[in-house]
Amino acid sequence: MTDSQNRPPLPPFSLESAIEKVRLAEDGWNSRDAEKVSLAYSLDTQWRNRAEFAVNREEARGFLERKWKKELEYRLIKELWAFGGNRIAVRYAYEWRDDSGNWFRSYGNENWEFGEDGLMQRRFACINDMPIKESERKFHWPLGRRPDDHPGLSDLGL
């Protein structure tokens, strides 16, 4: 079940459209706007994120709201890992701090599956958090979209 909205680029993905889809997802998550980001997912989207499972868009939105209340100064970089047909695999890292000022870099992989309308139907994420010192941070752009000239994960050796 999806709504009537299309979310280009649409599957099947080419290298260029898969890279574009990954960057659009990164930009959305860096906005930290749970309502806007949730619109990229089908109404019956299924997620596994660590030990949390969402079975619809509303639960995914609630997850995102809780996430960004906890993970302050969140900055994310995603990179295409593989793609085929209506599926994309990404690797990513993001930096954030908690409300006590402790910094973390979280590393993860996601597998995505899209409907014909380009909405994400399934998202499976595996993530590990690594405490870092503030001086070890690598993501220093202003909150929001990562600038086009900022290095990606491979460029940063991550």
How many distinct structural domains can be found in the chain? 1
What CATH number did the domain enclosing 107 receive?
Answer: 3.10.450.50
Determine, yes or no, domain membership for 55.
yes
The residues facing 141 across adjacent strands are none
Mean pLDDT of the chain: 96
Domain range holding 40?
15-136
pTM: 0.95
**Token pair 């006590």: residue:** 100
pLDDT digits (tens, 9 = 90+) for 55-85: 999 999 999 999 999 999 999 999 999 999 9
Is the separation of the CB atoms in 94 and 25 below 8 Å? no
